[in-house]
Amino acid sequence: MSPELILKFDGGFLRALKPADVHDGYVEGLNDPNVNRFLELKYSKQTRESVLQFACNDQQSPTSVLWGVWEDSHSAHVGTVRVHGVEYRHRTAHIGVCLFDKSVWGRGLGRKAITAVTRWALDELGMRWVEAGVYADNLSSTNAFLSAGYSWVCDIADKYLLDDKPTTVKIFAARS
């Protein structure tokens, strides 16, 4: 699923990421321990080829979209928001966000991107439930999802390992 549209928000926009959008700053950001601390990809070094493959796979998938996040002051994208696991029968989907360019952290860009993509998933895809799983220690993501209108649903204790210790995952959802 690769929609040909641009989702605008105050100070930037999102569009489906294309393989040509992959740049060195993206790959370097994904390998930064401060960026990838709460991402599963931290367990393997990312290369230009692995990131290109990920972008290509999403571009061809009928159940996911990898959106690039552009801020007006940057020529290259500074992050991604991924809608995946789209279930048309149940009208549900999952969402994840990564701002790999640390220069944009703390300015509300995650909230703006989450809000725009969630609106698209609910309104255009017809989803009734968009779900995010957030490590309990990831306060920035927790705040971004809550400020984007998500509600806390539940905690799942000991679901994942963080720093080799079981940790709680907080589940948030946006509903139509």
CA distance 142 to 50: 28
Q: What is the pLDDT of residue 160?
A: 87
Beta-bridged to residue 79, according to DSSP, are 69, 99
Q: What is the pLDDT of residue 66?
A: 95
CA distance 12 to 44: 30
Q: What is the pLDDT of residue 88?
A: 96
Residues with Cβ within 8 Å of 144's Cβ and at least 6 positions away in sequence, in order, are 97, 110, 111, 114
Note the pLDDT tens digit of each residue in 58-80. 989 999 999 999 999 889 999 99
DSSP string, 106-171: TSSHHHHHHHHHHHHHHHTS--SEEEEEEETT-HHHHHHHHHTT-EEEEEEEEEEEETTEEEEEEE
Q: What is the pLDDT of residue 83?
A: 97
The count of C-alpha atoms lying within 13 angstroms of the C-alpha of 144, restricted to the half-sphere facing its C-beta, is 27
Give the chain's radius of gyration (CA, Å). 15
pTM over 0.85: yes
CA distance 65 to 4: 11
List the chain domain ranges: 6-130
Residues composing the chain = 176
Q: What is the pLDDT of residue 1?
A: 64
Q: What is the pLDDT of residue 93?
A: 98
- 3-class state of residue 100 by DSSP: coil
Q: Minimal CA–CA distance to 29: which of 83, 61, 69?
A: 69
List of the chain residues with pLDDT < 50: none
Q: What is the pLDDT of residue 42?
A: 72
Q: Are 67 and 7 in contact (CB under 8 A)?
A: yes
Cα-based torsion angle of the residue sequence 127, 100, 146, 54 in order, rounded to the nearest 10 degrees:
20
| CATH level 3 topology of 6-130 | Aminopeptidase (3.40.630)
